[in-house]
């Protein structure tokens, strides 16, 4: 089998798996996490998506720069 076809099959299976896991995990989160924290998680996810998909070749550099701006210089304490 061609490697491109194999990659496409693997990505399709992973997408289906993550889609199937999404609903039970979301129900658990909605029951146990405050709504403001859920909104914050959504915003972080959106920033990650924007940096990942709109900056093709420079995505690793952009992600590092983004997380260095967001996190304190001494790490998480």
Looking at residue 13, its pLDDT comes to 93
**Residues 26 and 52 placed together within one structural domain of the fold:** no
Q: Structural domain of residue 28, as residue ranges?
A: 1-32
**Residues 38 and 20 placed together within one structural domain of the fold:** no
Instruction: Judge whether 24 and 31 are in contact, CB under 8 Å.
Output: no
Question: Model pTM?
Answer: 0.41
**Residues 39 and 21 placed together within one structural domain of the fold:** no
Question: How many angstroms separate the CA atoms of 29 and 23, rounded?
Answer: 10
H runs (alpha helix) in the chain: 3-32, 35-54, 59-70
**Residues 40 and 11 placed together within one structural domain of the fold:** no
Q: pLDDT tens digits, residue range 20-29?
A: 888 888 888 7
Q: Is the pLDDT of residue 69 over 70?
A: no
**Residues 38 and 69 placed together within one structural domain of the fold:** yes
Looking at residue 4, its pLDDT comes to 83
**Residues 54 and 77 placed together within one structural domain of the fold:** yes
Q: How many domains in the chain?
A: 2
**Residues 71 and 53 placed together within one structural domain of the fold:** yes
């Amino acid at each position: 089998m061609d490697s491109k076809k194999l990659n496409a099959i693997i990505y399709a299976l992973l997408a289906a798996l993550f889609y199937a896991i999404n609903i039970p995990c979301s129900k658990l989160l909605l029951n146990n996490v405050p709504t403001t924290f859920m909104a914050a998680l959504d915003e972080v996810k959106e920033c990650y998506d924007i940096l990942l998909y709109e900056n093709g070749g420079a995505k690793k550099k952009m992600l590092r720069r983004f997380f260095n701006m967001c996190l304190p210089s001494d790490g998480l304490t």
